[in-house]
Amino acid sequence: MKNQLDIIKRAWRLLASFHKWFYIHIGLAFLLSALSIAITYSGSKVLTYLTENNVRLIVISFIAMFAIEIIWNIVDYLKNKNELKHLDQDIAQFLQERSLEKILSLTPEQHIEDHSAIKQQVIVRGEIAIETVIKLFTSDFLPNISYLIIALATLTWYSPIIGGASFIVCVILTVWVTLFTRYYRPFIQKNRDNWTEQGKIRTEAFTHLQLIKLLGRESHFVKKYIDNRKSYADYDRHIGSINLRYRTQRGLFTSSSDNLIFFGAILLVLSGLNSIGSIFLVWSVVGRVFWSINGLTRALRDLPLRIIEAEKYFEAIDLAPSFDESGVKKVDWDKDIAFENISFKYQKSDRFVFEGLSFTIQTNKITAFVGSSGSGKSTIIKLLMRAYDYPQGSIKIGATELNKIDARYLRDHIGYVEQHVDLLDDTIRENILISVPEKKRNSAEKRLEEVARHTRIDQFYHRLGEEKFNTVVGERGIKLSGGERQRVGIARAIIKDPEILIFDEATSSLDSENEKYVMDAINDVSQGKTTIIIAHRLSTVRNADKIIVMDKGRVVGEGTHDELMKNSPVYQNLVAHQLS
């Protein structure tokens, strides 16, 4: 229970900027509760005066009831308008912005290690849960509590017996609901975990539809989904039957109590202790009291599920960056990049990728890294881009330690092209300009045609038609060929005029014709830049100013192609196998 209260308190603190509007909402809800009782009370007086044939008081009571109903509708309008204008969409937007900011504050390392689909589900459900938890209290729990207090006080004023009986039923129902909610929570938690696992299978299938089709594995994924779905459905039916029995038993108890209290009110009228109007008052108020209890029941029933989702949400956004990405924003880019005694291993691995690694990347030169898979080539790039931190050794650009450089500033000065270029489902224009800071976007856009020529994008203009840069490339660039995607990726890398260019296996998945186009683009844009190339193919690295040969996390050779062909057996072996 304490944990649940802590989550609710945290959700409330999170929405501190909305407290003013919540207080207005709660105040108006309390006023509506009082007005509802006043309407019922006025109606009971009309009936009482009707039996007494007192026309003057009948008219006064009826006018009062009519006026209060008008006021009730005005207050209800103001409450709903306040919710619509200041709470609904504003809270959703606030939570979405905050979640995105928190997730984007994490380091690339943390995004590489996590499953993005599961993370998205946790965040989306958590945002909904936080909003729901607070609204359960402000729109359901507190208004219903206020009505119960006012209603029970009114019933007790009319008849202490009726008020006392109603109070006892309310206490029994509240205790019953609380105990059942505590018992039911583990079932809900397990059901939610099952649902998440099932959602993961669907997300994986939709993410890789093309792969599944091309592999002919449709039946495998359908069976996997159905098996998981059956397990989820069986358990859902099990906990549904538990909840159904509880709701039926609670309904029988509530309706029985309602009728017994109503019968008691009839007996009081027959004995002359109360007026006929009290029958209407008791009938209306008691029914509403138990309806309010049901409202509280729904709120308390939904609360555990929402608490679980909010708890997972807070766990996700409470993650601190795995290292500090802030730092200096001034670097001498005309200096060499020096790795000195670098040792590194991935967090979930017991084996070092490399230990005591040292080499130099010369400024304004092309440096290529070659080696078999697992030799550490791509890890070097990840360290250079501060995707990971390095606990041992030194990486310097000139005299500046890499991990002392602001990560965003560093990445703004690096143009990076990966093996499989990741494109947005947007236009070619947007996919190129996305790498440019907003303040430089206008000037960069003026260079689009020039960049297109350098990266050989102009060679497939004929496929784009009149739309040209405004052509939408589809999900992950599906409308473009592999070579065309790579050229868009190169354009994205150079449009911001970076000091360092990195090509990580940029041609390894291309055919020979597309490789030629992409290599022409790489050679063109690399002039006068510090360029780093990770490659398997000889044709990609042959003309590099320096080739660094990697093997099992060690540098086993450095030099030009001709030099390495004379003195590096590992390089010779790679060349013999076309660096594959």
Copy the structure tokens of residue 186.
């583990």
Of 569, 547, 125, 113, nearest to 315 by C-alpha is: 125
Total length of the chain? 580
CB 225 within 8 A of CB 232: no
Q: State residue 504 phi and psi, 5-degree precision.
A: -100, 95
* CB-based contacts of 24, cutoff 8 Å, min separation 6: 82
Q: Give the count of alpha carbons within 13 A of 568, CB side only.
A: 25
Copy the structure tokens of residue 386.
């501060």
What does 534-562 look like in DSSP terms, one character per residue? E-S-HHHHTT-SEEEEEETTEEEEEE-HH
The reply to whether 420-498 shares the fold of 2-317 is no
What does 215-274 look like in DSSP terms, one character per residue? HT-HHHHHHHHHHHHHHHHHHHHHHHHHHHHHHHHHHHHHHHHHHHHHHHHHHHHHTTSS
- From first to last of its 580 residues, the chain has per-residue pLDDT tens of 557 788 888 999 999 999 999 999 999 988 998 898 888 888 888 888 887 788 888 889 889 989 999 999 999 999 999 998 998 889 988 998 898 888 888 888 877 766 565 677 788 888 888 988 888 888 878 888 888 888 888 878 877 888 888 888 888 887 887 788 778 778 877 777 777 766 666 666 666 666 666 667 667 667 766 776 777 777 788 888 888 888 888 878 877 877 787 777 777 767 766 666 667 777 777 777 777 777 677 677 677 778 888 888 888 888 888 888 899 999 999 899 999 999 998 887 788 888 889 999 999 999 999 888 878 888 999 999 998 998 889 999 999 999 999 998 999 888 888 878 888 888 888 888 888 888 888 888 888 888 888 777 777 776 766 678 777 877 777 778 777 888 888 888 888 888 998 988 877 666 666 667 667 777 777 777 898 988 877 777 888 889 999 888 899 999 998 898 888 888 888 888 765 4
Residues 471 and 464: their CA atoms lie apart, in Å, by 6
What pLDDT shows up at residue 580?
45
Residue 561: other Cβ atoms inside 10 A: 16
CATH code, 420-498? 3.40.50.300
Q: State residue 421 phi and psi, 5-degree precision.
A: -60, 130
Copy the structure tokens of residue 412.
């703004």
- The stretches of 318-387 forming alpha helices (DSSP H) are 377-384
The DSSP symbol for 319 reads P
Which residues is 370 bridged to in the sheet? 549
Structure-derived torsion over alpha carbons of residues 468, 531, 334, 392, reported in degrees to the nearest 10: 120
Residue ranges per structural domain of the chain? 2-317, 420-498
Q: Which helix (H) or strand (E) holds 140?
A: none
**Chain mean position to CA 110:** 14
Q: What's the whole-model pTM score?
A: 0.70
CB 265 within 8 A of CB 282: yes
One-letter amino acid identity for 281? L
3-class state of residue 361 by DSSP: strand
Sequence-distant contacts of 182-189: CB under 8 A, at least 24 apart: 182/1, 184/239, 184/242, 184/243, 184/246, 184/301, 184/304, 185/304, 185/308, 187/238, 187/239, 187/242, 188/239, 188/304, 188/305, 188/308, 189/304, 189/308
One-letter amino acid identity for 28? L
Which of the four CATH numbers 3.40.50.300, 2.40.50.140, 1.20.1560.10, 3.40.350.10 does domain 2-317 have?
1.20.1560.10
Residues 149 and 317: their CA atoms lie apart, in Å, by 39
Q: Identify the burial level of 464 via C-beta atoms within 10 angstroms of its C-beta, where 0-12 means exposed, 13-18 middle and 19 or more buried.
A: middle
Copy the structure tokens of residue 292.
């309010």
Copy the structure tokens of residue 220.
């495998």
